[in-house]
Amino acid sequence: MKFNVSSSSLAAKLVALGKVINSKNSLPILGDIVFDIQGTQLNLMASDSEVWMQTGLELTEADGDCSFAIGSHDIIEAVKGLSEQPLTFDVDLQKNLVKIIYNNGNFSMPVEDHKDFPKPVEIKGDVHKQIDKAIFNECISRALFGCGDSDLRPVMNGEYFDFTDKYLAIVASDGHKLVRNMLTEYKSETIGSFIMPKKVVAVLRSTFNKEAGEVHLHFDDRNAKLEFDTTTITFRLIEGRYPNYNSVIPQNNPNEARVDRACLLAALKRVQNFSNSSSYLVCFRFEGDKLQLDAEDYDFSKTATEDVACEYNGSPLSIGFKSSTFVDILANMTSKEVIIQLSDPSRAALVVPAEQKEGMEVLMLIMPMLLNN
């Protein structure tokens, strides 16, 4: 059978599906993408046995129905470099071959039986939520850098979705930093929570387009499913109990500094180059209308000092932070100014936007490092 499809539309779908596939797989067929043609609809699926991504697009022409699996690497590399043009797929299931014809040439490759491809997990007795796609994407993208990467604490290796009767919180933490997005407009009568693996977050970020819409979220105790546009992503949840994130957020912070985010970010990137490469320790000295950044690496006889203007209310305070983490915090905010809330050099600091969006409260926490005075 034959079918025709737009090269650019197919390439965009295939590249997104490729984010799900691992470089090494327990089953050879997991390195494939499944093509399922029904009428003039092409449905595509990829999986790593933990995450399933299904998406579809309209064909310009098709002369029958068929299904097959095809190696992901070869088809992605062949199609993504083509200019916009019609592609003709000529599929011969008896010979297990497909020939793909384009304006200046053609290529052929083997196909496999799709029946051995693992089916997506089922959501049983699921809870259903709806979230604006732009808000959802903004929150998961902001929190991604906060996820952990530890085999000893797998619950920290994802983003925690906490549905309460007062807000929806999307949280990520590795024990040294924490990101909390609180959406007060998404109150829930049905209280529930789950941990989304960070791989799913990364796949979502590369899949979302700028078109308006909603994400439909279904989940039970073990699995979850996201539906948006023409795409469905089904995945296994990280099992375990997420720590009480609210309990680690200090409530009384008498010292507060207001500083231009871009200026502090640029200064911190310069100064951190002179810090010790094993710790990236930078000293923040707050006093009056000035924040002084100090870094040193005596092993290589390097030091740096830079002053950043700020509005500081509180007692003079010196505190150490891992500069690379602080850079990530500032880079994942969009406000013109940020407010740094502090208590003492041994307690966590909070960084919040000076102006919060309506219905959204963003907070980031960073643990201090010991200064060598």
CA dihedral 236, 237, 238, 241 (to 10 degrees): -150
Spatial contact of 17 and 33, defined as CB atoms under 8 Å apart: yes
d(CA 90, CA 108): 9
**Single-letter amino acid, residue 59:** L
Q: Identify the CA nearest to 290 among candidates 314, 273, 268, 307.
A: 307
Nearest to 158 by CA among 138, 140, 176, 132: 140
In the prediction, which pLDDT does 373 show? Answer: 60
163 Cα distance to chain centroid: 19
Write down all domains in the chain, each with its CATH number in brackets: 2-116 (3.10.150.10), 127-243 (3.10.150.10), 249-366 (3.10.150.10)
Instruction: For the beta carbon of residue 244, count every other beta carbon within 10 angstroms.
Output: 8
* Contact present, 159 and 194 (Cβ < 8 Å): no
Distance of alpha carbon 283 from alpha carbon 195, whole angstroms: 34
What amino acid occupies position 53?
A: M
Per-residue pLDDT 10s for the chain (373 aa) are 899 999 999 999 999 999 999 988 888 999 999 999 999 999 999 999 999 999 999 998 888 899 999 999 999 999 998 999 999 999 999 999 999 999 999 999 999 999 989 999 999 877 889 999 999 999 999 999 999 999 999 999 999 999 999 999 999 999 999 999 999 999 888 889 999 999 999 999 888 887 889 999 999 999 999 999 999 999 999 999 999 999 999 998 999 999 999 999 999 999 999 999 889 999 999 999 999 999 999 888 999 999 999 999 999 999 999 999 999 999 999 999 999 999 999 999 999 999 999 999 999 999 999 887 6
Angstrom CA distances, 342 to 251, 265, 284, 313, stand at 10, 18, 11, 10
Q: Are 187 and 165 in contact (CB under 8 A)?
A: yes
- Report d(CA 69, CA 74) in Å as an integer: 12
Q: Given the structure tokens 């549905």, which residue do they identify?
A: 163
Q: Two tokens at 186? A: 């998404």
| Confidence (pLDDT) at 294 | 96
pLDDT of residue 212: 85
